């Protein structure tokens, strides 16, 4: 018999019950549901809405239920409507009328809203720790590779020289922003809907400040209609998670490229790659491809939430039960991906020689060749044209700017002297890029120091 059976003359149809039930996916919030109920019961007792004695029994009973769930003694009833009804019914089974007093001055609408905030607050803290850890791993990788010259690309064409450290630190910046977004989300969502009731508050003399502070919220939510119908925090979180996935996915794409025989810039540890069922030579970067693929589902989750909310009148509507599977899936997926990505990055080996060899091809010092003339007084546009003409000549003759004879240089302008070879050497090109944020080892050392300070803060 449902807890709401009073108004009904029939049992709910079995198919409808199964359709309506959310326990299959909201049972994971059991701990937070109990946490919320304990705070509510404590407040009811303090405010004299139920007796102190009943409050004490309820709190004790909820603690016992929590223990029994965790020890496996109490199993979730798959026919229960949701985790909230299940726990309340269990409390009543154990403590009769006292259990029936728990839901005084509360609705499942504010209950589920508080549970979800509590649950996601913990998940955000966990994801935050994982992304933080990822940043540390990348900083470490950067520290080992400040001199590892590689080509930087635009349009996936070799462009100008950078280092592997510089490249890693770019991702660190992205993930640091992700941490900031998680913090913003956590901060904004840390307000308490409990006491909003079904939608219109309550006639009981409740203390919302008390429940909010007992549950570690910064304040009660200011409006009860908003309290039960706000899911902005789910959407904000799904957005932050989508950006994490976007960053992981771009990174994955690069790892996939770098593992290919065409690049061979890195090699994944055997424990973090997979083979083929037919091609004995294959070593596939499946992890990164899966991350790239799973990015789609997190974007999908974000879209589900946005679309689910877009036409809903105030206040609670059952549509909102759909929030959970979407946000849980996004949370689970990000955790799974980061957890796998970290050790993969920790164990990969860097092929510095191949990176350097690739950087030595593709005329990535052509800008430096032009800059050489600019430093001797030539306007940049003229210098650019000369450098481009020399590149075309090299391509025609199968040479590089480093191997092009001096007389060819001097045919263009007598500003070129022997020191041009030094000026366009890869080392000079990288070390000379000292500008703030640039790839020179010194400039990257500053980036590393700043990132470390941010990570420690």
- Closer by beta carbon to ligand ARG, 108 or else 121: 108
- Please identify which residue in 108, 121, 247, 433 interacts with ligand ARG, judged by CB under 6 A: 108
User: Cα Rg for the chain, rounded, in angstroms?
Assistant: 31
Residue of 108, 127, 125 lying closest to 33 (CA atoms): 108
According to DSSP, the residues that pair with 257 across neighbouring strands are none
According to DSSP, the residues that pair with 220 across neighbouring strands are 192
The answer to whether 349 is a known catalytic residue is no
Q: Is 231 in the site for ligand ARG (CB under 6 A)?
A: no
- Please identify which residue in 170, 212, 214, 320 interacts with ligand ARG, judged by CB under 6 A: 320
CA 358/CA 342 separation, integer angstroms: 26
CA 167/CA 141 separation, integer angstroms: 10
- Closer by beta carbon to ligand ARG, 108 or else 166: 108
Tell me what percent of the chain is helix, strand and coil, each rounded to the nearest 5: 65, 5, 30
- Closer by beta carbon to ligand ARG, 330 or else 429: 330
- Closer by beta carbon to ligand ARG, 31 or else 181: 31
The answer to whether 155 is a known catalytic residue is yes
Per CB under 6 A, the segment of 253-261, 269-277, 316-324, 408-416 that binds ligand ARG is 316-324
DSSP per residue over 208-272, as a string?
A: HHHHHHHTT-SEE-S-HHHHHH--HHHHHHHHHHHHHHHHHHHHHHHHHHHHSTTT--EE--GGG
Contacts of 308 (CB under 8 A, 6+ apart): 319, 320, 322, 323, 326
- E strand or H helix at 93: helix 83-95
CA 385 to chain centre: 45
Buried/exposed code over 208-230 (b: 16+ C-beta within 10 A; e: otherwise)? bebbbebbebeebbeebebbbbb
- Closer by beta carbon to ligand ARG, 82 or else 123: 82
CB 161 within 8 A of CB 355: no
Per CB under 6 A, the segment of 36-44, 86-94, 318-326, 411-419 that binds ligand ARG is 318-326
- In the set 155, 277, 349, 435, the catalytic residue is 155
- Please identify which residue in 32, 38, 57, 82 interacts with ligand ARG, judged by CB under 6 A: 82
CA 356/CA 258 separation, integer angstroms: 13
- Please identify which residue in 112, 124, 162, 359 interacts with ligand ARG, judged by CB under 6 A: 112
x/- letters, 4..33, toward ligand ARG (CB under 6 A) = ------------------x---x-------
Q: Is 321 in the site for ligand ARG (CB under 6 A)?
A: yes
Minimum distance from residue 14 beta carbon to ligand ARG (Å): 18
Minimum distance from residue 112 beta carbon to ligand ARG (Å): 4
Q: Is 109 in the site for ligand ARG (CB under 6 A)?
A: yes
What is the distance between the terminal CA atoms of the chain, rounded to a whole angstrom? 53
Per CB under 6 A, the segment of 94-102, 107-115, 126-134, 280-288 that binds ligand ARG is 107-115
- Closer by beta carbon to ligand ARG, 54 or else 82: 82
CB 147 within 8 A of CB 441: yes
Minimum distance from residue 99 beta carbon to ligand ARG (Å): 19
Per CB under 6 A, the segment of 97-105, 108-116, 233-241, 424-432 that binds ligand ARG is 108-116
Which residues are near ligand ARG by CB under 6 A? 22, 26, 82, 108-109, 112, 318, 320-321
Please give the positions annotated as active site. Answer: 155, 276
């Amino acid at each position: 018999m449902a807890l709401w059976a009073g108004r009904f003359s029939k049992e709910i149809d079995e198919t409808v019950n199964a359709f309506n039930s959310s326990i299959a996916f909201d049972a994971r919030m059991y701990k937070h549901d109990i946490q919320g109920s304990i705070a509510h019961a404590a407040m009811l007792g303090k405010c004299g809405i139920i007796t102190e004695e009943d409050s004490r029994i309820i709190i004790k009973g909820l603690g016992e239920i929590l223990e029994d769930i965790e020890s496996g003694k109490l199993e979730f009833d798959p026919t229960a409507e949701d985790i909230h009804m299940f726990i309340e019914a269990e409390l009543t089974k154990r403590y009769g009328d006292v259990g029936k007093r728990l839901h005084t001055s509360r609705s499942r609408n504010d209950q589920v809203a508080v549970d979800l905030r509590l649950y996601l607050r913990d998940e955000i803290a966990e994801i935050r720790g994982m992304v933080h850890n990822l940043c540390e791993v990348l900083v470490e990788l950067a520290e080992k590779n400040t001199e590892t010259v590689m080509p930087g690309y635009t349009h996936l064409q070799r462009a100008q020289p950078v280092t592997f450290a510089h490249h890693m630190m770019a991702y660190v910046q992205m993930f640091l922003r992700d941490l900031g977004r998680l913090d913003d989300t956590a901060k904004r969502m840390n307000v308490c809907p409990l006491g909003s009731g079904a939608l219109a508050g309550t006639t009981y003399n409740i203390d919302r400040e008390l429940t909010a502070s007992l549950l570690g919220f910064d304040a009660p939510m200011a409006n009860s209609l908003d309290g039960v119908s706000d899911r902005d925090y789910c959407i904000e979180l799904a957005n932050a998670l989508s950006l994490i996935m976007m960053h992981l996915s771009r990174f994955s794409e690069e790892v996939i490229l770098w593992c290919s025989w065409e690049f061979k810039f890195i090699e994944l540890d055997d424990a973090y790659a997979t083979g083929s069922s037919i091609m004995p030579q294959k070593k596939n970067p499946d992890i990164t491809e899966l991350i790239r693929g799973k990015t789609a589902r997190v974007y999908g989750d974000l879209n589900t939430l946005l679309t689910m909310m877009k036409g809903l009148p105030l206040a609670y509507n059952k549509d909102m039960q759909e929030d959970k599977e979407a946000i849980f899936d996004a949370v689970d997926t990000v955790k799974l991906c980061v957890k796998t990505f970290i050790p993969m990055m920790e164990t990969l080996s860097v092929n510095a020689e191949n990176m350097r060899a690739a950087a030595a091809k593709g005329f990535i010092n052509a800008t430096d060749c032009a800059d050489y003339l600019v430093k001797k007084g030539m306007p940049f546009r003229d210098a650019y044209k000369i450098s481009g003409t020399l590149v075309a000549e090299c391509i025609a003759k199968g040479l590089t700017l480093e191997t092009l004879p001096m007389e060819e240089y001097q045919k263009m302008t007598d500003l070129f002297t022997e020191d041009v070879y030094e000026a366009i050497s890869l080392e000079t090109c990288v070390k000379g890029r000292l500008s703030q944020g640039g790839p020179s080892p010194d400039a990257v050392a500053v980036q590393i120091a700043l990132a470390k300070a941010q990570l420690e803060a």
